[in-house]
Amino acid sequence: MNAHPLEEEGRSTRSIDPCIVVIFGATGDLTARKLMPAIYNLARESLLPANFGCVGFARRPKSHDEFREEMKKQVSDHSRVKPIEENIWSNFHEKLFYHQSEFDKDEGYEKLKGFLGELDAKLGTKGNRIFYLSVQPKFFPLIIEMLSKHGLIYKENENNWSRVIIEKPFGKDWKSSMDLQNHIQKFITEEQTYRIDHYLGKETVQNLLVFRFANSIFESIWNYKHIDHVQITVAEDLGIGNRGEFFEEEGLLRDIVQNHMMQLLSIVAMEPPIDLSAKGIRDEKVKVLQSIRPLSKNDFQNNLVRGQYGKGFIEGEQVKAYRQEEEVDKSSNIETFVALKLYLDNWRWTGVPFYLRGAKRLPKKVTEIAIIFKDAPGLLFKHHNSKNDPNVLAIRIQPDEGISMKMNCKVPGPSSPVQPVKMDFRYGAYFGKTPPEAYERLILECILGDSTLFARADEVEQSWKIFTPILEYWSKNPPKNFPNYPSGSWGPKEADDLMARDNRNWRIP
């Protein structure tokens, strides 16, 4: 059995099979900014198998050498470790190759099959394959079907294996998600399917499980008796950039809330798993999603806010409104801001609201989980100029990954005022190195065959059951006030009103 990625000694005890990673969409933005730098850094830290190859599959014609030079520039620009190390790259680039084909051409897949066979003989990769689908979701079913048709996907056995990594979004709503799942399961098994959500690869997200279940001081108070509410914020200062066409189809709810934020919520709220196996952890995450109270019409009107950014200022520079972005409808009603309140109908979290807020063009980029504890009982320190603030445990996912605790403390001097202070732990400062990028961890886990950090089919299904009614409601009730928040602000007034009705405020991370 392979050790689990969250076990302390797991990284050194797991054997790594030789393999080839084939990236569909190899000339795209994700490959350039994330995937190739991640694979390079795995090579740099000697975490790839000795017998390894990477093949880029895309529609644009180019040679192996042209692809290698392009990837070298992208790694130089986007790697978390700079500058690029020439001695490592000289060995790494010899394992990079390029294959040109349309996604729907049988001839291209037949040539790919022959080429991979040649690489197996040359590199000693033994027929093990990972197919990474870094393409538009509409191509997922086609590519998987073509891979199966041409014998490139096969069930795992004692000799070799093949696996498929699928990028989000996995469907556009519950029905399309189920249709996609029903289609691909004709060709690959659930054990071969790795639905990637890069938030699960972030060091702080993984540490959240250790933080909760390895420290009894926190686990004992992780319930409705001590926690007033939970806030989860995923804020980005950027707009949509060159993703106008994609965002017009997806929107913020599909792009961030339905996947990233629900993964964070499920890990924060889950019960202790029976063990650290993929099944044990994923079973508990699904139970959280199943316990989320369905939203009613009243919730749609009072506990759900959508917004779209207008023009404004980010770091002193004027930026344009969403409707002025490239490839965006000038009267678009696509949301770039979502805030909502959810309840979990289970014993641990009864009566505790979870407030979710995700958005583009906020004042800064930050992803944070904030646990706000209930006020201390009594009136001992509610006098004079004392600030008897609630205790807050903040888990910062990005940037500056770490954990902080806000507590009340007496200021030195005879007047005895009480003032909130913060205890702060940051990964980079304490361990003296930058945590690995999420894609590094996730690609490695797929090579190792560990699916713990990937979404299971029933997780995706339960999440879509929660959010499909919202999408249906919004389609029938278009907004009348877009854009409704300026770029550089913390969102529309309605989001503040949502909290104010509960006598609470959004935390400014």
Q: Indicate the DSSP class of residue 276.
A: S
Element (DSSP H or E) covering residue 143: helix 140-149
Cα–chain center distance at 97: 28
The 3-state secondary structure of 414-442, one letter per residue: CCCCEEEEEEEEEHHHHHCCCCCCHHHHH
168 near 259, Cβ under 8 Å?
A: yes
Distances (CA, A) of 92 to 29, 51, 54, 58, 259: 21, 11, 10, 20, 33
Active-site entry in 93, 150, 260, 383: 260
- Look-up of token digits 């850094």: 41
501: exposed, middle or buried (Cβ count in 10 Å: 0-12, 13-18, 19+): exposed
Hey, is 339 helix, strand or coil?
Answer: strand
Active site residue 260: yes
Cβ-contact 326, 244 below 8 angstroms: yes
270/283 Cα distance (integer angstroms)? 9
Beta bridge partners of 455: 195
- By annotation, the residues acting in catalysis are 260
